[in-house]
Structure 1
């Protein structure tokens, strides 16, 4: 996945990260300054990771500014020590600042090395990210909440589609072939439910909480998953540039505007398919997955989509166009049909037909 905001780590920070992964650093705080990721502070090892947790992490938190905190655990994998990645985003911090930090998180993970990160934790209060908060997080992961009705339905749909694909897959010459006639259609075209990957799920949660205002998603047609492309903060005037000219995408945009003198917002879902420059396979898969993705967005993540749009390019995706799509004008009353006037000009002498008399002569 590409960098999401264009914000990168400084050379000094990259060097520190390399040393920290193999040194005696217990925790480090990383912040954004002048559109760069820089080291804010760090703490050395003192005791075991659980005893060091609160003394090292809590003093690094600022109630007005987001940050990232990396805490070294005492467990190992093939890459070395494992780390906990904490995203701190206090409610009191400015919305745009929170959006920038949320959109840059994946960049920092890539700079640090995702294989070193064992777990992630997000919080807006100290109770979320303190040691007890992390234990609650671990407990919720090991004992997930029961599925909602919508989640159960989606799970059943996905299992059914998997079974259909398995049965339809060729298993040998003359066997396992799917017969196709004018009466039958490929079962997968009824609507697919590709699983949404973890980063995309987190982005949807952040979007629901209004921590970000734009999400771009793509299909990994080989792995059959829905992946996050980026969540760059986006103004309405920047939206046309977010639409790729050569590949399909799904977009969620929080359209903030004024309507009838009141500030309001609307969630717009955009399905962009750039004509026939895409392969038939891509066109079929994106079209088939769209409705199931929307169902998950609306039912599981409780994101109310105001307007659903299908476009082939970003051209014309202006403020005026969005406004008219979200607030369509009432249809004008149809004019009452009136009999058209006759042609203008001489129509000849008027012909008078007289009634017939008793003898059949004109009277």
Structure 2
């Protein structure tokens, strides 16, 4: 699939793919795609049992640098019809953005295909992970848990993240590890321009329906304009290029501002923005090496004055408490002389 993370939440399976569970002839569907749609890149009709055909169907489709999804029909059935094996192929050599795209599209694909049709799923980064022998090892590990391989551990983490986004936010505790919502591609491009000093301000917001982080504003912003960029009734993430002088040096510092306007926002909005904040910053650090000088949390845009930002980035050092010398006694009066005696020293007598 040649798509970008920006389109991840909007990518939909083609009609051909949506009809796949109803077609009992095909034993395998290999998903490739175009930027705005998942499509079936290859399919094959069943001839013998699924075990005998597994490697001959699956392995030729695996590309060393291209992620893909493979839906493989099993011989077992439930009330919905034949059950399928969902295979997520994400090779180590594939580009990071491609991996992000496929990870972000995964939930949408399974929902559109029909989760009740999927009996099991495996994730692989090397061919051995998704081969027939690899799948049998997966089945054994499900019955008798053993130390997870790197691919199995990654799949476990993916499932955990999917569970956090699909279930009720209120009844979960996502703030412990955060929610890595995908960030849309135009937002990444805008932040890359900010990093290169081509933009002065980028604002991001969460799309709650699509569960993505999207671009909200890139208006040119000076320090005096910053308070006006902060909404009074909804949360936002702001990235501001703060241009200033410090001790004779001209500096351009990127400041991350998380604005949450008190309790005018819903509990769901507060929890999602709080949970997505750290994964977002980590993602930007790894993907575009965005160097953030200071992270600030506010509840009112009026806090963002020039003095406030300067003080946050260059806090004043606490003055050391002055140590006063012990004053000398009155001149000519030395006071009573005292003798200090050791514990074993005999007392002197006159």
TM-score where L is the length of structure 1: 0.50
When residues 270 and 128 of structure 1 are mapped into structure 2, their CA distance, relative to the original with a 3 A threshold, is farther
Q: Deviations over 1:49-104 (max 9, x none)?
A: 11111111001111121111000011112211111111111111111122112211
In 2, distance between residues paired with 1:219 and 1:43? 35
In 2, distance between residues paired with 1:53 and 1:315? 63
In 2, distance between residues paired with 1:108 and 1:315? 43
For residue 242 of structure 1, what is the aligned residue in structure 2? Answer: 205
For residue 182 of structure 2, what is the aligned residue in structure 1? Answer: 231
Partner SS for 2:48: coil
Moved more, 223-232 or 94-103: 223-232
In 2, distance between residues paired with 1:313 and 1:4? 32
Which structure 2 residue ranges, 5 or more long, are not aligned? 1-6, 149-155, 192-201, 208-230, 238-255, 279-291, 323-350
Partner SS for 2:10: coil
What are the equivalent positions in structure 2 for 1:190-209 lying under 5 Å apart? 201-202=160-161
For residue 297 of structure 1, what is the aligned residue in structure 2? Answer: none
Partner SS for 2:123: strand
For residue 264 of structure 2, what is the aligned residue in structure 1? Answer: 277
Match 1:8 to one of 3, 12, 37? 12
Q: Deviations over 1:174-229 (max 9, x none)?
A: xxxxxxxxxxxxxxxxxxxxxxx97552569xxxxxxxxxxx95972565465968
In 2, distance between residues paired with 1:128 and 1:14? 30
What are the equivalent positions in structure 2 for 1:90-239 lying under 5 Å apart? 90-145=91-146, 201-202=160-161, 220=168, 223-224=171-172, 226=174, 230-233=181-184, 235=188, 237=190
RMSD between aligned residues = 4.8
Partner SS for 1:52: helix
In 2, distance between residues paired with 1:316 and 1:103? 36
When residues 272 and 82 of structure 1 are mapped into structure 2, their CA distance, relative to the original with a 3 A threshold, is farther
**Aligned positions, number:** 232
In the TM superposition, residue 22 of structure 1 has moved relative to its aligned partner by: 2.9
Verify: 1:74 aligned to 2:33, yes or no: no
TM-score where L is the length of structure 2: 0.52
